[in-house]
Homo-oligomer: A and B are copies of this chain.
Amino acid sequence: MSDTNFTEILKEKKLKITPQRIAILEELDKNGHSTVDDIFNRIKIKIPSVSLATVYKNILALQSMDILKSVKTPTQKQKYEINKKPHIHLFCKICEKLEDFEIDISDFQDYCKNASGYENIEEASILLTGICKECSAKKI
């Protein structure tokens, strides 16, 4: 994903295109799930004047426009990611890495819909914890 794309995305959502916003989106695009501090510390290199408050304000703005999503992880700090194609999260209990895992959960959602009577099941937050390949290999 290039700068131009972020510019487009912001334009579509009628958010002004500022260097801070581009930097936040670039950072998340490059590094995946990040905490507010991660983002702040990384973009400070490019934009030394940036403030934490601006990062917070933008995270809220970008979330309300569905450009970002928050990810709830077992370790308490809130993380954020760019709202891209649907995926679930895998969390390794050993190295505490958080991974995206793209699978089609529509069958599972349909089953839940039928069994529960809930309509419009469209948003899901699925996190499984286990031991990743690398950590499994190390343990042997």
Residue ranges of A at the interface with B (Cβ–Cβ < 8 Å): 72, 74, 88, 90, 92-93, 99, 101, 103, 108-109, 111-113, 115-133, 136
Contacts and interface: CB of A to CB of B under 8 A. Distances in A.
Given A108-B108, A112-B103, A124 B127 contact: yes
A133 B112 contact: no
A122 B117 CA distance: 27
A125 B88 contact: no
29 contacts: A72-B72, A74-B123, A88-B112, A90-B112, A90-B116, A90-B118, A93-B123, A99-B116, A101-B112, A103-B112, A108-B108, A112-B128, A113-B130, A117-B133, A118-B128, A118-B130, A118-B131, A119-B130, A119-B131, A119-B136, A121-B128, A123-B128, A123-B129, A123-B130, A124-B126, A124-B128, A125-B125, A125-B127, A126-B126
